[in-house]
Amino acid sequence: MNYSRAFSYVFEDKNWLSKILIAGLISLIPIIGQFYLCGWMVEIVRRTKAGRTDILPTTHFTYFLTLGLKVFVVCLIYSIPVIILSCILGLMNTSVESSDSNMIAIIFTGMGCLGSILTFVVNVAVSLLGTYGIIRLAETDQIKACLDFNDAFNTIKDNIGTFIIVELLALVAGLIQGAGFIICFVGAILTVPYGVAVTGNLVGQLWDNLKVNPTGSKPRRTTVNEPANDIIEEAPFTKVEEIEKQVSDVPEEPKNEEIVIDAAEPIIEETEQVISDQVQTEAVPESETPVDEAPTAEAEPQEEEKPDTDIPSFE
C-alpha cells in the first residue's frame, strides 16, 4: 500500500479545489451534510479500488446522500454494544453518587474502571468493523452484506496489521479535519472534506490489498458515471490497468492459411477422382454408331461461278 499517496493524490486532480470546496460547503448543512460526506467517501473507496485517475468525485447530491444514510445505519448497528456499555456505565456512576456506603462505591468504581477498559476495546473493534462495513457497502451497496460477522471476523483477522495501520492513519486524517476548526472555522470547509478524502483512499487501498477477499454474492457496484460494461464488473478484485495490460500482452494466434490449404488438397483430389469415376460409368449415348465410325457427309458439288458478262469470241 502507498500510504503517502493517500495524503497527496487530492492535489493531482486539476479541479481538486472546486471539488473539495463544494463538498465542504455541503458538509455545513446540519446532519444532511455529514451523510453526504459519508456517501462521497464510499465513492472515493470505489474509485481507488477501480484504479481510476479521477478519484475525487463531482457532486451527485441525492446519490451520495442515500449512500451516506446506509453508512450511518451500518455504523449504528455496529455501535449497539458500545451504546449498551455506555448505558450500563452511566447507571453505575449514578448509583455511586447516590450511595452512602463506601463499600458499594468502591465496588462500582472498580467495575466502572473495568467497564471503561472494555468500552475502549469494543470501540476499537467497532472501528475495525466500520472499515470492513464500508468496504462491503462499496462492493455490494447492500446493508445486509455488511452484517456477515463471520466473514468480517475472518477478513479482519487475516489482515489485522493493515487494518490497524489504516485506522491510525485515518485518526491522523481526523486530526487534520479538527485543525480547521481550531485554526479558523472557515478552514474546516477545506480540511473536513480533505480528511474524508484521505480516509476514503486509505480504505480503498486496503480493499485492493486484502489477503482474503470479502465473500459477497453480488459483484462490486460500479462507480458514478462508469460504463455498465466496464471490465471491472468481470474482475472486481483486479485493477483496470492490470487487466488492460494482461489483455494487450496476449499474443495473437498465427494464421496457418498454408497449412489449411495443404490439408485440404487430399480431400479435393479424392473428390475429383470420385466425380471422374462416376462420369466414366455413365451409359454410352443412345446413338448406335460410335462417333468415330460415323460416315462423313459427302461434299455437295459446288456450282461453277459464271461471269455476269459474256466474253466475245474472236473466231
Taking only the tens place, the pLDDT of each residue in 191-212 is: 899 999 999 999 999 998 887 5
Residue 184 lies in a domain: yes
Range of the domain at 30: 5-248
Q: What is the DSSP letter of 10?
A: G
Dihedrals phi, psi of 108, to nearest 5 degrees: -70, -30
Residue 297 lies in a domain: no
Span 265-284, average pLDDT:
63
- Taking 70 as the threshold, does the pLDDT of residue 220 lie above it? no
The span from the CA of 251 to the CA of 255, in Å, is: 12
Span 230-248, average pLDDT:
42
Residue 145 lies in a domain: yes
194 within 8 A of 176, measured Cβ to Cβ: yes
- Taking 60 as the threshold, does the pLDDT of residue 30 lie above it? yes
Residue 109 lies in a domain: yes
Statement: the pTM of the whole predicted model exceeds 0.75: no
Place 259 in a pLDDT band, splitting at 50, 70 and 90: very low
The span from the CA of 121 to the CA of 128, in Å, is: 11
| Cell numbers linked to 226 | 462508469
Place 51 in a pLDDT band, splitting at 50, 70 and 90: confident
pLDDT value of position 291: 44
pLDDT value of position 232: 35
pLDDT value of position 65: 93
Residue 195 lies in a domain: yes
11 within 8 A of 1, measured Cβ to Cβ: no
- Taking 70 as the threshold, does the pLDDT of residue 129 lie above it? yes
Q: Which of 128-142, 216-230, 284-298 has the lowest mean pLDDT?
A: 284-298
Residue 172 lies in a domain: yes
- Taking 70 as the threshold, does the pLDDT of residue 4 lie above it? yes
DSSP readout, 165-220? HHHHHHHHHHHHHHHHHHH-GGGHHHHHHHHHHHHHHHHHHHHHT-SS----SSPP
Residue 291 lies in a domain: no
200 within 8 A of 168, measured Cβ to Cβ: no
Place 156 in a pLDDT band, splitting at 50, 70 and 90: very high
Residue 300 lies in a domain: no
Question: Could you give the number of structural domains in the chain?
Answer: 1
